[in-house]
């Protein structure tokens, strides 16, 4: 009599370490994306703030700003948009911090910890979901920017690939900063504290930069800080790739090689703060 051996239906699939980590991270990312669709206010309010910045800076401050010796509001409008895009992706840090702090407070992180999941997958999944939300916000903001008159450079100097690369660098910076938000969210006790802690340090980072004004007109010591600011490197790179005015002429290496500087800064931030956040996560749930 023949014996038939059947594989139990509930038997887990064996994966390599990297494959398991990617799978678990995507599962968590999917969970967070589904949650976002059920709370549309999260996306709505995330879009409203940058749109307000575009309108206010364009129509309130545009006529009084000087870019490259020109006071034309249209020139400032094109100069401004790279800074607004960069500010938008970095301000998503506060949402990441608050979301992780909320999960910690509700005990959801402890539930994830009881499952056979890859180390760090909870945080990676969260940051990937936040990146997807930021990309949606960026798309809406780009449409609004086009409606108010923002344009990239001429077709001869700016291709679709270069524009896409500019947005790619902006999203990479935003992803890097969400790891800072993850560390903040794991370090505080309440979502309210995470929101404050996730945004307060962003103001000097975004305003001591070349995002809204020409950094060459700043006080020398402030200008040096702005030129070596990771945020400024990405803004400069975006302006170069978009073909927009206001590309600062400076001896500082990040301003001379903004694309490489942006990639390096974002990579360093991801490596350092991911390691710190995962370490904090393991200690907080250990």
pLDDT of 7 strictly over 50: no
Whether 143 is in a domain gets the answer: yes
Identify the weakest region by mean pLDDT among 5-9, 99-103, 130-134, 195-199. 5-9
Higher-pLDDT residue of 157 and 41 is 41
Q: Are 142 and 84 in contact (CB under 8 A)?
A: no
Whether 73 is in a domain gets the answer: yes
Number of domains in the chain: 1
Whether 54 is in a domain gets the answer: yes
Q: Give the Cα separation of 140 and 76 in Å (integer).
A: 21
Q: Give the Cα separation of 214 and 209 in Å (integer).
A: 9
Whether 12 is in a domain gets the answer: no
Most confidently predicted of 73-82, 139-148, 151-160: 139-148
Residue 264 is predicted with a pLDDT of 97
Whether 10 is in a domain gets the answer: no
Average pLDDT value over all residues in the chain: 83
What does the pLDDT look like over 31-73, one tens digit per residue? Answer: 888 877 777 777 777 778 778 877 777 777 666 666 666 666 6
φ and ψ at 67, to 5 degrees? -130, 115
Whether 9 is in a domain gets the answer: no
- What is the 3-state secondary structure of 16-67? CHHHHHHHHHHHHHHHHHHHHHHCHHHHHHHHHHHHHHHHHHHHHHHHHCCE
pLDDT of 89 strictly over 80: yes
Q: For residues 167-188, give the mean pLDDT.
A: 94
Most confidently predicted of 4-13, 102-111, 231-240: 231-240
- Domain containing 247 equals 19-284
Q: Give the Cα separation of 109 and 163 in Å (integer).
A: 38
Whether 253 is in a domain gets the answer: yes
The pTM for the full model equals: 0.86
Whether 8 is in a domain gets the answer: no
């Amino acid at each position: 009599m023949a014996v038939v051996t059947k594989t139990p239906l509930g038997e887990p699939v064996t994966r390599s370490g990297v494959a398991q980590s990617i799978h678990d991270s995507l599962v968590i990312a999917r969970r967070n994306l589904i949650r976002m669709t059920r709370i549309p206010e999260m996306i709505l309010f995330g879009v409203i703030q940058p749109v307000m910045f575009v309108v206010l800076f364009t129509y309130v401050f545009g006529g009084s700003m000087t870019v490259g010796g020109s006071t034309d509001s249209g020139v400032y409008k094109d100069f401004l948009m790279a800074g607004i895009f960069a500010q938008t992706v970095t301000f998503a840090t506060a949402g990441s911090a608050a979301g992780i702090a909320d999960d910690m407070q509700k005990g959801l992180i402890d539930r994830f910890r009881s499952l056979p999941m890859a180390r760090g997958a909870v945080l990676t999944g969260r940051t990937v979901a936040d990146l997807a939300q930021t990309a949606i916000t960026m798309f809406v903001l780009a449409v609004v920017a086009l409606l108010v008159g923002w344009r990239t450079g001429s077709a001869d100097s700016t291709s679709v690939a270069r524009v896409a690369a500019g947005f790619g660098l902006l999203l990479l910076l935003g992803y890097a900063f969400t790891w800072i938000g993850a560390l903040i969210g794991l370090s505080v006790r309440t979502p309210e504290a995470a929101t404050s802690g996730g945004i307060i340090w962003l103001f000097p980072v975004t305003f001591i930069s070349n995002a809204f004004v020409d950094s060459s007109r700043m006080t020398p010591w402030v200008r040096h800080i702005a030129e070596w600011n990771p945020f400024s490197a990405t803004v400069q790179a975006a302006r170069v790739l978009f073909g927009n005015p206001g590309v600062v002429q400076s001896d500082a290496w990040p301003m001379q090689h903004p694309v490489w500087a942006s990639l390096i800064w974002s990579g360093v931030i991801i490596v350092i703060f991911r390691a710190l956040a995962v370490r904090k996560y393991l200690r907080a749930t250990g």
